[in-house]
Amino acid sequence: MKPAIRLGAVGYLNARPLVFGLERSARVTLCYEAPSECARLLHTGAIDAGIIPSIEYLRAGSYRIVPDVAIASYGPVASVALYTRRPAGDIRSIAMDTSSRTSVALVHVLCARLFRIQPRIESHEPDLTAMLARCDAALLIGDKALVTGGSGPTEGGEVEKIDLGGAWTSMTGLPFVWAFWSGPPGALDASDVALLQQARDAGVGHAEAIAREHFHDSPEHHEMAARYLRDTIKYRLGAGELAGLDLFFRYAAELGVVATAREPQFY
């Protein structure tokens, strides 16, 4: 019997459908980390494959991607946002959530191409109050952003939530790919790929149950979370998603966020 595959997964709500039922599979062992930590574990060989931020695919020499499985969105995503007290064109500093890598890269792209600004960037733990005490705007991702709307009036002024998925699609007309399963060549075989695709299919069909379990202490979030999984997040990596991914890679390379862009290679 082959040894279990070591998989790194993201603990956010939007990744839960991709690992549905995998905890019960003898074929895999799972650990849950922030997206940036999943990428680090994969880069260092501590896991065999992981749900990694899409930009991290370009920071490794020869990764492969599990076909037709992704965390993507078309239009507003709700869980990746800039919170700002200034109009986007007047932002001079941004505190970036240290949990994120793809969203940080997307902020650089949107600042250059959509907002036409060159803000000072700081890394910061995801604490909106502390972030906005230091900078004009703050990037939050994941569950924190999902449940945090525009904060309204504060001592420092009105806070607006700028949805970065919506900003990308407004600028390009394309979906945005936030993350996918990836790993070195040979880490996964055809049966492993099928297992991950089947987990996705099962998870997509259990949005309500996943939402209830994920927010078990917050029943007021159940309906919102189920709707987010059903209607907002897209879990396939189709032609539109690949076109959006290719454009994001090209823009990131042009800005020097990554050394070079390259075409996705699949298991």
| Domain final position from 172, 201, 235 | 172
Q: Are residues 57 and 100 in the same domain?
A: no
For residue 61, what pLDDT is reported? 76
Q: What is the CATH number of the domain that holds 90?
A: 3.40.190.10
- Tokens representing residue 18 in the block: 């991709």
Q: Are residues 10 and 67 in the same domain?
A: yes
Q: How far is CA 68 from CA 176, 193, 225, 244, 264, in A?
A: 14, 10, 23, 14, 12
Q: Are residues 146 and 86 in the same domain?
A: yes
Q: What is the pLDDT along the chain (267 residues), one digit of tens a residue?
A: 678 999 999 999 999 999 999 989 999 999 999 898 999 999 999 999 999 999 999 988 799 999 999 999 999 999 999 999 999 999 999 999 988 899 999 999 999 999 999 999 999 999 999 999 999 999 999 999 999 986 554 555 689 999 999 999 999 999 999 999 999 999 999 999 999 999 999 999 999 999 999 999 898 999 999 999 999 999 999 999 999 999 999 999 999 999 999 999 999
Query: Domains in the chain: how many in total?
Result: 2
For residue 153, what pLDDT is reported? 45
- Give helix then strand counts, H and E, for the chain: 9, 12
Residue 217 lies in a domain: yes
For residue 2, what pLDDT is reported? 76
Distance CA 191, CA 153 (A): 53
Q: Are residues 188 and 167 in the same domain?
A: no
